[in-house]
Amino acid sequence: MLNQIVLVGRIVSIIMQDDDKGNRGVVTISVPASIKDESGEYPTDKIEIELFDNIAKNTVDYCKKGDVIGVKGRIQKRDDEPMKVVAEKVTFLTASSK
């Protein structure tokens, strides 16, 4: 069985949280739909992605709001938790001058 997701989108927000388990971050990206809605516009989905350890640190250090990133990850659903995307690899697709 395979649980893999690939997303490409523009960063809407980045939040870094240090906890007892190490670095953890959440990045929200905006991903446009591939089909138009009733009004003729391409709607966008805002997707939250959970980042851990070096992936979280590097994303916070090198990316800013508006940058485009590619994310390879998996969908995770635990017993009482909502479904979420967990990043396994983040690729920076736009140059940032942070």
Which domains, ranges and CATH numbers included, belong to the chain?
5-34+41-86 (2.40.50.140)
Contact between 40 and 17 under an 8 Å Cβ cutoff? The reply is no
Residue 2 has a pLDDT of: 92
pLDDT at residue 11 above 80? yes
Q: What is the 3-state secondary structure (H, E, C) of the chain?
A: CCCCEEEEEEEEEEEEEEECCEEEEEEEEEEECCCCCCCCCCCEEEEEEEEEHHHHHHHHHHCCCCCEEEEEEEEECCCCCCCEEEEEEEEECCCCCC
Residue 81 has a pLDDT of: 86
What is the average per-residue pLDDT within 10-37? 88
Are β-strands 84-92 and 44-52 bridged in parallel, bridged antiparallel, or unpaired?
Answer: parallel
For residue range 29-84, list pLDDT tens digits in order: 999 998 999 999 999 999 999 999 899 999 989 999 999 999 999 999 999 989 99
